[in-house]
Amino acid sequence: MSDNTVFVGNKPVMNYVLAVVTQFNQGAEEVSVKARGKAISRAVDTTEIAMNRFLENVTKSEIITSTEIVDTESGKTNVSSIEITLSKI
Amino acid sequence: MSDNTVFVGNKPVMNYVLAVVTQFNQGAEEVSVKARGKAISRAVDTTEIAMNRFLENVTKSEIITSTEIVDTESGKTNVSSIEITLSKI
């Protein structure tokens, strides 16, 4: 796992875009954007907006989808997750 | 683009899982699962459920995210999209 990880949740997408851009501006070579469940769409939005509007010389180096097992009040449940890694070229 | 494409929208996820599994059972070597906007999360669910519960010897061969420009009543807008390609091993 990258040290520079942005977990995408239910806040407005620009919050996460700003977090990603800030990490690159602070010198990160690589930033991972992670999300689970319904936030997966917002994670894709985050990387698309960050790359199209704010970042230059950054590419999507890896996209992984997986299933995580999460404990809830009503027992264990499966939830899909995504990890999109952005890297400086 | 693969001939065998499943477009994921707002129906229950099992509809799309069934569509993917059916295409493989009918002999497809490769099935692409595509979605836009909020349906992206459901596309990931579709491939995870299909692979974990129904399909053997199938792997995620490619995941692409991109931005598409869509015409709406109020003009053009950007929407994120995903394409997950499943292939027989």
Mutate to test the interface with A, among B13, B14, B38, B40 (most CBs of A within 10 A): B40
Which residues pair with residue B81 across a beta bridge? B36, B66
CA distance A11 to A53: 19
pLDDT at A55: 94
How many angstroms away from the CA of A19 is the closest CA of chain B? 19
Q: How much is the pTM?
A: 0.91
In this structure, are residues B24 and B31 in contact, taking their beta carbons and an 8 Å threshold?
yes
DSSP A11: S
B23-69 pLDDT, tens per residue? 999 999 999 999 999 999 999 999 999 999 999 999 999 999 999 99
Pairing of strands B30-36, B75-88: antiparallel
List the one residue out of B11, B17, B12 whose CA is nearest residue B86.
B17
A29-80 pLDDT, tens per residue? 999 999 999 999 999 999 999 999 999 999 999 999 999 999 988 889 999 9
Task: Report whether pLDDT(A86) > 80.
Answer: yes
- Residues 6 or more apart whose CB falls under 8 angstroms from that of B42 comprise B8, B9, B10, B13, B16, B35
Could you tell me the two tokens for B61?
Answer: 């061969």
How many angstroms away from the CA of A84 is the closest CA of chain B? 9
